[in-house]
Structure 1
Amino acid sequence: MRRQQRTPSPLPRWRAGRRIPTPSSAPVTRAPSADRRALVPRVGLRGVTQRVRGFISGVAGASPARTALLAFALVILVFTALLSLPFASRDGRVTAFHDALFVAASSVTVTGLTPVNTAEQWSFAGQLVILVAIQIGGLGILSMAALLTLAVSKRLGVRSKLITQEGMSTGRIGEVGSLLRVVVATTLLFELALAVVLIPRFTAHAGSLAEGVWHGIFYSVSAFNNAGFTIHADGLGSLLQDPWIVWTITAGVFAGALGFPVVMVLLKQRWKWSRWNLHTKLTVTTTVALVLGGALLIGLFEWSNPATLGQYGVGERIQYSLFGSVMTRSGGFAVYDVNEQYAETLLLTDALMFVGGGSASTAGGIKVTTLAVMFLAIVAEARGDREVTTHGRTIAPGSLRVAISVLALGATLVLVSTMALVAISGESLQRPLFEVLSAFGTCGLTTGLTAELPPAGKYVLTALMFAGRVGTITFASALALRQRRNLFRYPEERPIIG
């Protein structure tokens, strides 16, 4: 039997400028041109902006770590292009791509390693590009760390969110705008304070106000962001006779290496130890222990070395020992030639560069909290404790697993990169290992091997600086954000360890 087609009932097709769908068999009448123009959505500049922001928000929400990696890679490429142009070099020539890429990556990741002399290679415009790259890189690192911390806190319970809020000091949980404003304002405030002290001293040394202002601003930004770039041909060696410059740069590097959560707590709670959160207590105590212990060992090893500390008086030896200990943790400024140090000092420097500074800071390395958690876990295991506790708090097993993962990732990156650099350079282990750890820890100290490497070696260090800066942060945050609940549990069995 043939189906009987239903006759569609007459319906008004237009109501207040909107079309009501009609059956396919109904005759379609075209709307007047004025009505058609009213029905077509207008996508202006505002609409395009909203769509772009929606796309970026969607990508960031799906993978904040991937977004951070892409953002840093794009910024590095932009500054590579700028540094390659003739206006950036002092001789007006195009800079080789591998050198421009290396310096751009070193600036954005605030490392400080460079294959060329910054004062001799780059013009004022080129040095200004480097300064902007350091500032954007430093703010980007702090902002990225802040947003990733916020993303991690959203996965926590209400009580954990409140605890996290104490370390972030944003006013309200999840207030992204306030958090970023705090990060930017705090960074600029610290840099301004450093510049106010440094500008008069550099003006006195240079004999020119304009030059003193430029040097004061450059070194204040470079110090707080732990970049380690210098715009003097001989470095800071001739200027570190001035205690004001020494201690100001030391204070800037130390503050920048603490991390924004610690700085926020210190600004809010001052020195009220009982009100500090666990992260602040671990960061401050471990940092102070590493700085003082490193200064003591550097002074002990190099005290009588005529090429390093032995050429100074007792007071200067103590001052430069402390200065060198702070710089090995990501500062990158040097008083004397690193190659003149004894082998034991170089090995100590390797260890301090690998540890780096505080979490969510401009410093690199595996971070001091990772070292602290691993040490506490070893102590708890030696005592036979079932849980890792400190300062009246129990460290979550998830944090311990993340610390182990970050440590393993860092060691693997250093191992693979060192083997590659040894094969490329043909050097023995000591110098390639030092350069690799300086790149991974974004420290910037160098034995001079970086300038001697062929392009292949520079590409290895460039990739390592990028991985050492963003890799550990995004890897740790990705592990913290990744949560999976199993509906079953396997039987427990202990393999033989040790």
Structure 2
Amino acid sequence: MAKTTLEKWFTPARILTGGFATLILIGGVLLSLPFASNSGEGLNFLDALFTATSATCVTGLVVVDTLTQFNLFGQLVILSLIQIGGLGFMTVTTFIIIFTGRRIGLRERLVIQEALNVNSLEGVIRLARNIVLITVAIELFFAAILAFRFSMDMPVDRAIYYGIFHAISSFCNAGFDLFGNFRSLTGYVTDPTVNIVVMILIILGGLGFTVMVDVWKAPRPEKLSLHTKLVLTMTATLLIAGAIGYYLLEMNNPKTLGPLAWNEKLLAAMFASTTARTAGYATIDYGSLTDASLLWTILLMFIGASPGSTGGGIKTVTTIVILLYVISILTGKESTVAFRKRLDPRTVHKSFAVAVISAILLVTVTFALTLTEDKEFIRLLFEATSAFGTVGLSTNLTPELTPFGRIIVMLMMFAGRVGPVTLALALTLRAQQKAMIKYPEEKLFVG
């Protein structure tokens, strides 16, 4: 009986939440050790825990510079946290279990289903295995290209290491870099190779593994699943709209795009649009953006990447489902339709729930930061949204946060990576139960 009660308590949502929390704690301990820092002195635990949270939640917000603070051991710890956090610790665990030949039970399959955000248990083990193989193949291929480019600026052995580090960080949408002094990729703002490779990695990581597998297997575009069609449509729309927005808003800003040639401005605008979707790399100084551009970035960060991907945010599918529902209301349609398919009302309801919970969480965290930090409101909102969307972009505010502010941002990064709904389910004391009683309906006046 005790075992049954224990099993009921350990729901998939709680296992996922607890797994990420444990991984962060282990990473924080390792990064606080003296032999993880260049100075030989241990980093204070709060900053180490913040770094581990940012790496595991593939965010990229940093309170200490990765290159100058951490030696090779510390950097490899961060890289491991990024890879495990990006793939999901259950995906990595599943691959290890498969490799060792152990059997995977029903409970483990349920947790994997929750982690991968898929609707069926069928094929989840095969999907988890393919995710790891696809990830390694993509990262190695583009790491080679980056290593070749970096070899023009640094010794070959260092270029290979930088290529691998930044390929993994890009694909996992983490945004950690090794160029020092919080510069990110600003030194390569006009370099087409670095920009294009990093953008491709960010986009692939942000599409979601199920989408990549579906695109790979589908014989023709019309055979793609509705989920894949919505993801590709919304991703393309956001990338194009985002680039146009940045180009128009920043083209005359002397501190960002102003000094660049028109083609370089376009490249930088495209990169900014891509990275705002949860990647965190920067080729321009976000502390110099206009308020309009900051708000534009906040919108893109809040939407984020796609379900089942390495990115955060409320997700592209959530956004497009809400938009389609609003359109159906305005046009007087009874059902929400996309690509001649009727959407399940429960999907629509869940999309609104995700958006509302996320908005409440964002408002709450921003309000808390206004109490702990003496900074401009727009910068605090930007920081909170960046943490929620696991983006990692900052107006250079992160290192200036107070200890309380760092704790708040850490919790926000964790909530953003686990997912607000998953986190809410994990914190719910009672298991979900279907209502046995139906109450009478009554109409209300709204709007």
TM-score for the superposition, normalised by structure 1: 0.81
Q: How much does 1:175 deviate?
A: 3.9
| 1:9-68: CA deviation from partner (whole Å, max 9, x where unpaired) | xxxxxxxxxxxxxxxxxxxxxxxxxxxxxxxxxxxxxxxxxxxxxx89x74995100000
2: distance between equivalents of 1:295 and 1:112? 22
SS in structure 1 opposite 2:75?
helix
- Structure 2 residue aligned with 1:255, among 201, 204, 207? 204
Contact 1:141 1:361 survives alignment (8 Å): no
Alpha-carbon distance between aligned partners in 2 of 1:62 and 1:103, rounded to the nearest angstrom? 28
Give the equivalent residue in structure 1 for 2:401: 453
Equivalent runs, 1:27-426 vs 2, <5 Å: 59=7, 62-140=10-88, 143=91, 151=110, 174-206=122-154, 208-233=155-180, 234-269=183-218, 272-426=220-374
Deviation at 1:310, TM superposition (A): 1.0
Paired residues of 1:154 and 1:174 also in contact (CA < 8 A) = no
* Distance in 1 separating the partners of 2:263 and 2:309: 31
Q: Work out which of the residue numbers 430, 444, 451 in structure 1 matches 2:392.
A: 444
Q: Bigger radius of gyration, 1 or 2?
A: 1
Query: 2:101 matched to which residue of 1?
Result: none
CA displacement 1:322-372 (0-9 Å, x = unmatched): 110000011111112111111100000000000100001011000011101
8 Å CA contact 1:59–1:67 kept in 2: the answer is no
Structure 1: distance between partners of 2:344 and 2:111: 14
- In 1, Cα distance between the equivalents of 2:8 and 2:210? 22
Secondary structure of the structure 2 residue equivalent to 1:384? coil
> Whole-Å Cα distance in 2 between the matches of residues 420 and 154 of structure 1?
34
Whole-Å Cα distance in 2 between the matches of residues 143 and 354 of structure 1? Answer: 25
Distance 1:84 1:483, change over 3 A: closer
Over residues 106-143 of structure 1, what are the superposed CA-to-partner deviations in whole Å (9 max), with x where a residue is unaligned?
Answer: 00010000011111111121111111111111121683
Partner of 1:33: none
Partner Cα distance (1:408, 1:252) in 2: 30
CA deviations over 1:422-474 (Å, ceiling 9, x no partner): 11012231111110000000000011111001111101100110011103362
Structure 2 residue matching 1:245: 3-state secondary structure? helix
One-letter code aligned to 1:230: D
Question: Cα distance 1:473–1:181, how it changes in 2: closer, same or farther (>3 A)?
Answer: farther
Q: 1:225 to 1:142 in 2, by over 3 A?
A: farther
Deviation larger for 238-247 or 292-301: 238-247
Q: Report if aligned partners of 2:388, 2:413 keep a CA contact under 8 Å in 1.
A: yes
Partner amino acid, structure 1, of 2:56: V
Establish whether residue 496 from structure 1 lines up as the match of residue 445 from structure 2.
Answer: yes
Task: State the one-letter code of the partner of 1:194.
Answer: F
Is the CA contact 2:13–2:111 (under 8 Å) kept in the aligned structure 1? no
Is the aligned partner of 1:469 residue 2:446? no
Flag the 1:286–1:459 CA change in 2: closer, same or farther, 3 A: same
Greater shift, 234-243 or 121-130, is seen at 234-243
Cα–Cα, structure 1 residues 213 and 300, in superposed 2: closer, same or farther, change >3 Å? Answer: same
* 8 Å Cα contact 1:295-1:325 kept in structure 2: yes
> In the alignment, residue 52 of structure 2 is paired with which amino acid?
A
Q: Any idea what the Cα deviations from partners look like across 1:228-257, whole Å, max 9, x if unmatched?
A: 001101321113332111100000000000
**CA RMSD after TM alignment:** 2.7
Per-residue deviation, 1:283:
0.7
The answer as to whether partners of 1:150 and 1:174 remain within 8 angstroms in 2 is no
> Which runs of 5 or more residues in structure 1 are unaligned?
1-54, 156-162, 166-172
Percent pairwise identity: 37
Paired residue total: 426
For residues 309 and 434 of structure 2, the distance between their equivalents in structure 1, rounded to whole angstroms, comes to 32
What runs of 5+ residues in structure 2 fail to find an aligned partner? Answer: 95-105
| Matching residue of 2:100 | none
1:149 Cα deviation after fit: 12
